[in-house]
A and B are shown apart, each in its own frame.
Chain A
Amino acid sequence: MTRWGMVIDLRKCVGCYACMVSCKQDHFLPPNIFWNRLVVGETGKYPTVTKQLYPVLCNHCDEAACVKACPTGATSKREDGLVSINYDECVGCRYCLIACPYQQRTYYSNGKKEYFPGQGLTELELIGQELYPLQPGTVVKCNFCMERIDQGLAKGLIPGADREATPVCVNACPPKARTFGDLDDPDSEISTLIKHRKGQQLHTEYGTDPSVYYIIR
């Protein structure tokens, strides 16, 4: 069995926002919608302040709270562990959005919102609406670039190893802080990293078993 996951090495992250921008660009995400975020914080007091960077995205949890909360079954977990949303079935109740303890879902309310207010949708935005037809009135979130994974697998490529089958945020990361692969394969790069570099999940107390791990030290 396959379970796709990601490891983010916080020691390598330089806070360049390339993951956020590439995700937004690749999925033609509308204004104010981010599937990837970079959380920036500080610890300590002057003069010994440490800046901390946490790139966050949907954790594609094994025990996803959103999947259980969804009253219609629009949010579901695939066999390969990806948590996906069927926009045709979403009723827009936003219970999943409330239930996600990591706050990684967004309600897409206005399909006519422009990047340049008052100037209409640009050609690029119109193409985006054709290629990625998000439905206003539904909830959206990171899908681990499942279309790339599925198309890549169909071509015999390996997600995580072949760029064409790998999430764009992983490809775009300049210091290669992100690694993608199969969590269920003990010999995969991602499993080795988690094992040897002590990969940690965010907030394990919620019991959701996220598929995104962080290397902190």
Chain B
Amino acid sequence: MKPYEWMVKYTPQTEWIEGRGILMWLAEVFGGIGAGLYLVALYFNSVWGMVLGWLIVIALKGGFHLAYLGKPMRFWRMLLKPQTSWMARGFIFMLLFIVFGAVQLAYSWWLPGTTGEAVFMVLAGIMALLVAMYTGFVMNYVNGIQLWNSALLPLLFVLTGVLDGLALVIAASVFGGNIDVLAAEAISRTLLITTAALIAIYLWSATYIGSAGRQSVIRLIHGNLAPIMWVGVILCGIILPVVISWFTHIAGATSAPLLIIAIISEMIGAFALKYAILKAGTYGPLIPVSAH
């Protein structure tokens, strides 16, 4: 972009989605998946799920975040300003989740059923919830990008994180995990429909925030991002899993190939949703003139 073209038109944000910004997208996706899996594993008391969720947050979310930083060796400085910055708060949530999660997993492994295990389950669970949620607040703070400037974003990210966690837990059951698949499917079905409704409300409300919000929604619904939105988010992320889930419900039994298709398509949906939201983030024109 030439200097004189800067901000005359609607300008999509590129920093967190293009080039190395892809790492930021991956960090956000894996943060949701890891924290969601940990929460779901807590509910189903699945230790392997907790371990996997914990590892995803450390290795993938943490790893991609660090790789994105311009000065990764200074990462500890991100602890210093939690009073105003959601990025700093999120970093603290993640560190606390790693510490509490490690203690809880140690208890679950060596001293299961103790009070200590229960206490650290609660603490790590709260931190997992905050890890899944805070990226929504990080984005929601940015009032220049009206699509992101919505209070629904943190809620949407938590819901999708839990959904992804459920998908991974169901996947484990296919390969012999000790999980009540029908119960997980029932929760997943309800959450999928809730998420679909929330996405619709989120996009609808974004059009009322301002012209840049409307522009972002137009790009998502019938602009250059429509294939990602309709195929990735709606078809793969919502419709296919719901249809397969209903089929499982009606048949009263699970089908391993169908479950695998549902899980893969739900994962595609998880990646597509955050990609679409990050990519559609648009600043309004800086000056009140048309394009040169």
Contact = CB atoms under 8 A, between A and B. Distances in A.
A175 to B, nearest CB: 18
Interface stretch (A84-92, A162-170, A176-184, A185-193): A84-92
Interface stretch (B65-73, B198-206, B230-238): B65-73
A91 B292 contact: no
Contact of A100 (B78, B84, B144, B284): B144
A152 interface: no
Interface string A60-87: 0000010111111110000000000000
Contacts of A142: none
B15 A52 contact: no
Nearest to B8: A41
Nearest to B68: A93
Interface residues of B, number: 40
Given A39-B287, A91-B78, A202-B287, A68 B71 contact: no
B4 interface: yes
Looking at chain B's contact residues, the main secondary structure is loop
A91 B70 contact: yes
The list of the 8 closest CB pairs from A to B, nearest first, reads: A92-B70, A41-B289, A101-B144, A137-B70, A71-B88, A72-B77, A71-B87, A68-B84
B107 interface: no
A3 interface: no
Contacts, number: 139
A95 interface: yes
A34 interface: yes
A138 B292 contact: no
A54 B292 CA distance: 12
Interface string B269-290: 0000000000000011011011
B109 interface: no
A100 B7 CA distance: 13
Given A68-B85, A71-B91, A101-B142, 9 more contacts: A39-B7, A41-B8, A43-B290, A90-B71, A90-B74, A92-B71, A99-B142, A100-B144, A137-B70
Given A37-B6, A71-B91, A107-B70, A98 B16 contact: yes
Given A98-B15, A98-B145, A103 B69 contact: no
A70 B85 contact: yes
B142 A39 contact: no
22 contacts: A37-B6, A38-B4, A42-B292, A52-B289, A56-B6, A69-B86, A69-B142, A70-B81, A90-B74, A91-B71, A91-B74, A91-B78, A93-B78, A94-B16, A95-B138, A98-B13, A98-B142, A101-B143, A103-B283, A107-B15, A135-B71, A203-B286
Contact of B77 (A38, A91, A139): A91
A138 B71 contact: yes
Interface of B: 3-4, 6-8, 11, 13, 15-16, 68-72, 74-75, 77-78, 80-81, 84-88, 91, 138, 141-145, 283-284, 286-287, 289-292
Contact of A102 (B87, B91, B286): B286
Contacts of A101: 142-144, 283
Given A39-B287, A101-B144, A102-B286, A89 B74 contact: yes
A115 interface: no
A120 interface: no
Contacts of B74: 72, 89-91
B70 A136 contact: yes
B16 A73 contact: no
B7 A56 contact: yes
Contacts of B78: 71-72, 91, 93
Contacts of A72: 74, 77-78, 80-81, 88
A98 B284 CA distance: 13
Given A52-B287, A56-B286, A90 B85 contact: no
